[in-house]
Copies of this chain bind each other. A is one copy, B any other.
Amino acid sequence: MKTEYKTKTRMAIIDYLKSNPDTRFTARDILKAVNRDGSNLDRSTVYRNLERLCREGKLVKYKETDINAACYQYSEDHGSCHDHMHAQCSECGKIFHLDNAILDDTAKKMKKEYGLEIDYGKTVIIGVCEECKQLNEKNK
Protein backbone atom coordinates (compact mmCIF):
# COMPACT_ATOMS: atom_id res chain seq x y z
CA MET A 1 0.00 0.00 0.00
CA LYS A 2 1.32 3.39 -0.97
CA THR A 3 1.58 6.14 1.59
CA GLU A 4 0.19 9.47 0.46
CA TYR A 5 2.19 12.57 1.07
CA LYS A 6 0.60 15.88 1.87
CA THR A 7 2.64 18.26 -0.19
CA LYS A 8 2.29 22.00 -0.67
CA THR A 9 1.67 21.47 -4.32
CA ARG A 10 -1.14 19.02 -3.85
CA MET A 11 -2.73 21.30 -1.25
CA ALA A 12 -2.60 24.21 -3.69
CA ILE A 13 -4.45 22.13 -6.26
CA ILE A 14 -7.05 20.98 -3.78
CA ASP A 15 -7.52 24.56 -2.64
CA TYR A 16 -8.34 25.49 -6.18
CA LEU A 17 -10.92 22.72 -6.38
CA LYS A 18 -12.57 23.73 -3.15
CA SER A 19 -12.88 27.32 -4.21
CA ASN A 20 -14.37 26.30 -7.57
CA PRO A 21 -17.01 23.68 -6.84
CA ASP A 22 -19.61 22.61 -9.39
CA THR A 23 -17.87 24.34 -12.23
CA ARG A 24 -15.97 22.95 -15.15
CA PHE A 25 -12.29 23.63 -15.45
CA THR A 26 -9.36 22.25 -17.39
CA ALA A 27 -5.85 21.31 -16.36
CA ARG A 28 -4.75 24.58 -17.88
CA ASP A 29 -7.15 26.56 -15.71
CA ILE A 30 -5.62 25.14 -12.56
CA LEU A 31 -2.12 25.74 -13.78
CA LYS A 32 -2.78 29.38 -14.53
CA ALA A 33 -4.70 30.01 -11.33
CA VAL A 34 -2.12 28.44 -9.05
CA ASN A 35 0.83 30.06 -10.77
CA ARG A 36 -0.75 33.47 -10.71
CA ASP A 37 0.62 33.92 -7.19
CA GLY A 38 4.17 33.18 -8.25
CA SER A 39 4.23 29.42 -7.75
CA ASN A 40 5.98 27.20 -10.21
CA LEU A 41 3.50 24.39 -10.64
CA ASP A 42 4.18 22.18 -13.64
CA ARG A 43 1.72 20.74 -16.14
CA SER A 44 2.72 17.19 -15.51
CA THR A 45 2.11 17.59 -11.80
CA VAL A 46 -1.36 18.90 -12.46
CA TYR A 47 -2.20 15.97 -14.69
CA ARG A 48 -0.79 13.46 -12.25
CA ASN A 49 -2.79 14.89 -9.38
CA LEU A 50 -5.99 15.17 -11.35
CA GLU A 51 -5.67 11.62 -12.49
CA ARG A 52 -5.26 10.47 -8.95
CA LEU A 53 -8.21 12.47 -7.66
CA CYS A 54 -10.36 10.96 -10.38
CA ARG A 55 -9.24 7.49 -9.46
CA GLU A 56 -10.22 8.21 -5.89
CA GLY A 57 -13.65 9.36 -7.06
CA LYS A 58 -13.24 12.88 -5.74
CA LEU A 59 -13.33 14.41 -9.17
CA VAL A 60 -15.31 13.86 -12.33
CA LYS A 61 -13.55 13.94 -15.65
CA TYR A 62 -15.32 14.42 -18.93
CA LYS A 63 -14.85 15.88 -22.37
CA GLU A 64 -16.83 18.48 -24.20
CA THR A 65 -17.29 18.44 -27.93
CA ASP A 66 -16.35 22.06 -28.39
CA ILE A 67 -13.49 22.31 -25.92
CA ASN A 68 -10.30 20.62 -26.99
CA ALA A 69 -9.25 19.54 -23.52
CA ALA A 70 -10.55 17.33 -20.77
CA CYS A 71 -12.82 19.05 -18.29
CA TYR A 72 -12.99 18.28 -14.61
CA GLN A 73 -15.52 19.10 -11.99
CA TYR A 74 -15.35 18.98 -8.25
CA SER A 75 -18.17 18.75 -5.79
CA GLU A 76 -18.04 18.96 -2.02
CA ASP A 77 -21.52 17.84 -1.16
CA HIS A 78 -22.39 15.01 -3.41
CA GLY A 79 -20.07 12.26 -2.44
CA SER A 80 -19.46 9.91 -5.29
CA CYS A 81 -20.80 11.38 -8.48
CA HIS A 82 -20.92 7.96 -10.06
CA ASP A 83 -24.39 7.18 -8.84
CA HIS A 84 -26.52 10.12 -9.87
CA MET A 85 -27.26 12.12 -12.96
CA HIS A 86 -26.00 15.54 -13.87
CA ALA A 87 -27.19 18.41 -15.95
CA GLN A 88 -24.96 21.10 -17.29
CA CYS A 89 -25.46 24.60 -18.62
CA SER A 90 -23.95 24.75 -22.08
CA GLU A 91 -23.05 28.39 -21.62
CA CYS A 92 -21.49 28.81 -18.19
CA GLY A 93 -20.62 25.16 -17.59
CA LYS A 94 -22.35 25.00 -14.24
CA ILE A 95 -23.24 21.52 -13.16
CA PHE A 96 -26.41 20.43 -11.41
CA HIS A 97 -26.61 17.25 -9.41
CA LEU A 98 -29.95 15.68 -10.13
CA ASP A 99 -32.25 13.36 -8.34
CA ASN A 100 -32.36 10.28 -10.55
CA ALA A 101 -36.10 10.12 -10.05
CA ILE A 102 -36.44 13.03 -12.44
CA LEU A 103 -35.79 10.59 -15.24
CA ASP A 104 -38.09 7.80 -14.09
CA ASP A 105 -40.63 8.30 -16.81
CA THR A 106 -38.03 8.71 -19.53
CA ALA A 107 -36.08 5.70 -18.32
CA LYS A 108 -39.11 3.49 -18.65
CA LYS A 109 -39.77 4.64 -22.19
CA MET A 110 -36.12 4.24 -23.14
CA LYS A 111 -36.09 0.69 -21.97
CA LYS A 112 -39.29 -0.18 -23.77
CA GLU A 113 -38.68 1.63 -27.04
CA TYR A 114 -34.93 1.31 -27.49
CA GLY A 115 -33.91 -1.44 -25.09
CA LEU A 116 -31.44 0.92 -23.45
CA GLU A 117 -30.74 0.75 -19.74
CA ILE A 118 -29.73 4.23 -18.57
CA ASP A 119 -26.44 4.72 -16.80
CA TYR A 120 -27.25 7.55 -14.44
CA GLY A 121 -23.70 8.18 -13.38
CA LYS A 122 -22.56 8.86 -16.92
CA THR A 123 -25.48 10.77 -18.33
CA VAL A 124 -25.36 14.54 -18.60
CA ILE A 125 -28.33 16.55 -19.71
CA ILE A 126 -27.40 19.73 -21.50
CA GLY A 127 -29.37 22.94 -21.35
CA VAL A 128 -29.31 26.60 -20.50
CA CYS A 129 -29.65 27.65 -16.88
CA GLU A 130 -31.87 30.38 -15.51
CA GLU A 131 -29.02 32.82 -14.99
CA CYS A 132 -27.63 32.50 -18.50
CA LYS A 133 -31.09 32.74 -19.97
CA GLN A 134 -31.69 36.06 -18.26
CA LEU A 135 -28.26 37.28 -19.23
CA ASN A 136 -29.03 36.46 -22.84
CA GLU A 137 -32.25 38.40 -22.68
CA LYS A 138 -30.47 41.48 -21.39
CA ASN A 139 -27.82 41.42 -24.08
CA LYS A 140 -30.27 41.27 -26.91
Cβ of A90 under 8 Å from chain B:
yes
Interface of A, helix, strand, loop or mixed by DSSP: mixed
Interface size class of A (residues with CB under 8 A): 20 to 34
Chain B's nearest CB lies how many Å from the CB of A26?
A: 13
Q: Are B102 and A116 in contact (CB under 8 A)?
A: no
Question: Chain copies in the assembly?
Answer: 2
Cβ of A114 under 8 Å from chain B:
yes
Q: How far is the CA of A58 from the CA of B119 in the complex (A)?
A: 27
| A127 interface neighbour in B90, B96, B117, Cβ under 8 Å | B117
Q: Are A125 and B102 in contact (CB under 8 A)?
A: no
Residue of B nearest to A122 (CB): B126
Cβ of A61 under 8 Å from chain B:
yes
Q: How far is the CA of A90 from the CA of B133 in the complex (A)?
A: 31
| A102 interface neighbour in B63, B89, B110, B128, Cβ under 8 Å | B110
Give the B-binding residues of A (Cβ under 8 A): 61-65, 70, 87, 89-90, 96, 98, 102-103, 105-106, 109-110, 113-119, 122-130, 133
